[in-house]
Structure 1
Amino acid sequence: MKHAYLSGVLLAVISGMAQGAVSLSGTRLIFDGRYNEATIEVSNRSNAETLIQAWLDAPREDDQPGDTRAADLPFALTPHLVRMPAMGKQTLRLLYEGIGMSLERESMLHLYVLEIPRRSPAVQQLSIAIRQRINVFYRPAGLAGNPADAAQALIWQRAQSANATLSVRNPTPYHVSLQDLRINGIEVAEYRLLAPFSDASLTLPVLGTKRSVPEALSFKAMTDYGGQREHCAPFQGGQPFNVPLRTPDSHSLIGKC
């Protein structure tokens, strides 16, 4: 290449701690199984040229990217390495081989985009390579139900025991991303991703030395386009219940909503 960039050995990779010049056109990507490809746009907002590297990987518990050469995924990503001019744009294409993914539920992958700045001529100046990651949801064609209604289909239930917990079951074939989960206005979880057909358990909040008496559950559910929809509902004792979309009448009907 004509310009010098930092070598991989010297990269200081930071996620969520620094703001780079490269941005993605979405915070998530839905791969519609009716088609054999999906795209996302990358923009270089700076006045300097930069290099980006992109790759797909399977989700990992340690939240660290693995060796993409060893990832056995039926997808191709192109281009995976490209030099972007100042204020330039680049479209990344995800291509599916057509076999290898579940046809009964959504599958989740991680898309990584690494921004590698040009080597600084200043001896004492630190250059930082910034890595971004978004979720890619492969959605096979023909799944039952509407993904926009998946959050309302979640089944919640409060355990009637000394160690009070709140269980939730996702009976849908879609991933449901929840944010700002609260009970009586008290935060229980900042973010929770519920996989298709999965179960999870949350500990109820504590007020002082006594456990609170839950009255209402509220949360925000992310849409396919990265937006948020608010949900709120009263608890039904120990009975299972669903949490519908918040309405203008929610506050008058449910004090905590």
Structure 2
Amino acid sequence: MLKPILLLSALCWSACSCAAIQILATRVILYEAEKEQSFTIRNTGDAPSLVQIWLSKKDNSSMNITDDIPLAIMPPIARINAGSSKVFRFFPTEKASAALPADRESMFWINALDVPAVDDENVAENKLNIAFRTRIKAFYRPSGIKGTLIEAGENLQWSMSKEANNLVYTVNNNSPYHISVVDFSLKKGEETISSLPGDVIAPWEIKKYKFKNVTDSSASLNYQYISDLGAYIPKRIVL
């Protein structure tokens, strides 16, 4: 089992040396019928970086690497020179079809740990090198699910209730797709009166979002959901 690369650095008081690894995608979608998908990571910095890639489950935000996910990424570790790019392959193992639900898509995280090269000058001057982790969503879509992500995003079912001095919006995702939502806000005209962080609404999940200290039920709920291509699609809900 691979373990995350640990970067130990001396305490410093001067500048940090930072790499510039960019994943050239916001999400990767692997269909059951496909042998693989690919994504590209580019080093926009001026020094080489060592990049470690691994998958984690939707609810896992730790740095732990496990081998209980029936999907894989190759290569798991790669050097990317300054100004260069590297293509990584994302593919199912033989166990994927049997291990993952057939009636809904499964969501994972692709983690990229970027460890910048150690510069002799930085070491001599007690400058700090920092390892950065970037994550993007990865989805596995079985062949049998119906509809599209856009249809699912357009057909979220909302209701509103009051709890003391709070407005509570309840959403029902009656689809086999994960809906990634950003910029939840309540607006009165063009004025934002309350907001909440974005979220992911899982297949057939019912969730509640509480706007504290808001009692004006005539406000509209505004948010954006993200398409397969990474486009932000605005929605306005008036109940």
Shorter chain as denominator, the TM-score bin is 0.7 to 0.9
| Paired residues for 1:90-105 under 5 Å | 90-97=86-93, 98-99=96-97, 100-105=99-104
Greater shift in the superposed pair: 28-37 or 103-112? 28-37
**Residues 30-52 of structure 1: CA deviation (Å, up to 9, x unaligned):** 11222021111011112222211
Could you tell me how far 1:125 is from its partner in structure 2? 1.1
Paired residue type of 2:145:
L
Map of 1:147 onto structure 2: 149
Q: Could you say if the C-alpha distance between residues 196 and 11 of structure 1 is closer, same or farther in structure 2, counting changes exceeding 3 Å?
A: farther
- Secondary structure of the structure 1 residue equivalent to 2:198: strand
Map of 1:129 onto structure 2: 131
Map of 2:221 onto structure 1: 217
Residues 167 and 217, structure 2, Cα contact 8 Å, conserved in 1 = no
Map of 1:234 onto structure 2: 238
Paired residue type of 2:193:
I
Once superposed, what is the RMSD of the aligned Cα atoms? 2.1
Q: Could you say if the C-alpha distance between residues 228 and 19 of structure 1 is closer, same or farther in structure 2, counting changes exceeding 3 Å?
A: farther
| Paired residues for 1:18-57 under 5 Å | 20-57=19-56
**Residues 58-88 of structure 1: CA deviation (Å, up to 9, x unaligned):** 1235x2222x2x3301112100111112211
- Secondary structure of the structure 2 residue equivalent to 1:151: helix
| Paired residues for 1:103-114 under 5 Å | 103-114=102-113
TM-score, length-scaled by structure 2: 0.83
1:193 and 2:189 correspond: no
1:10 to 4, 8, 11: 8
How many positions carry a matched residue from both structures? 218
**Residues 183-221 of structure 1: CA deviation (Å, up to 9, x unaligned):** 2233332201100010111113535xxx22234222111
Could you tell me how far 1:120 is from its partner in structure 2? 2.1
Could you tell me how far 1:11 is from its partner in structure 2? 6.3
CA–CA distance in structure 1, aligned partners of residues 163 and 197 of structure 2: 25
1:65 to 63, 66, 88: 63
Gaps of 5+ in 2: 11-16
CA–CA distance in structure 1, aligned partners of residues 59 and 237 of structure 2: 33
Percent identical across equivalent pairs? 26
CA–CA distance in structure 2, aligned partners of residues 224 and 19 of structure 1: 31
CA–CA distance in structure 1, aligned partners of residues 223 and 107 of structure 2: 22
| Paired residues for 1:163-182 under 5 Å | 164-182=167-185
Map of 1:247 onto structure 2: none
More strand by share: 2
TM-score, length-scaled by structure 1: 0.78
Residues 183 and 205, structure 1, Cα contact 8 Å, conserved in 2 = no
Gaps of 5+ in 1: 1-6, 13-17, 236-257
CA–CA distance in structure 2, aligned partners of residues 180 and 219 of structure 1: 5
